[in-house]
Amino acid sequence: MINDLVLNYVLLFVLLEMYEIMWQKAPSIMGMLLRMHKYYSKSIFLFLIMQPTFYFSIGFAMLSNLNIYAMILLFLKTADVATKILLIEQIFKKKELSKELSQLLLTPINNFLPYMGLFIYPTLIILAL
């Protein structure tokens, strides 16, 4: 029974993470931020709805009785969403961007980078259960 529960949580998370990867995927971090900004500019609530793994991590932390690994997952997902919002605000609203940061954001990313969460986060789910 516990194995089925772990498998269900991992599969649900993988499906939600694949959804996020598909709508955010771009050749650079700036490209990803541009895609995210389209939703953020319409409504921050729409942007947040487009982050289902964040809500999964909140629910999972509660269901696992605040297990340390579930809390790490929640912290990482919260930091991820907060970083995206801060970068979008800084780049598109305040229009403040250092030369170094702009070079970093425009650098092409490895094709593997968007999929790293598919390996890291399910491991935390397994460890939490």
pLDDT for 40 equals: 97
pTM of the model: 0.90
Rg (CA), the chain: 16
| Domain count within the chain | 1
pLDDT for 12 equals: 96
pLDDT in tens, 117-126: 999 999 999 9
- Give the separation between CA 129 and CA 125, rounded to whole angstroms: 6
Report the share of the chain in percent with pLDDT over 90: 86
Alpha helices in the chain (DSSP H): 2-24, 29-42, 44-49, 52-63, 68-88, 99-106, 117-128
In terms of residue numbers, what domain contains 62? 2-128
Q: Has residue 2 got a pLDDT over 80? A: no
pLDDT for 129 equals: 84
CB atoms closer than 10 angstroms to residue 43: 10
Q: Has residue 20 got a pLDDT over 90? A: yes
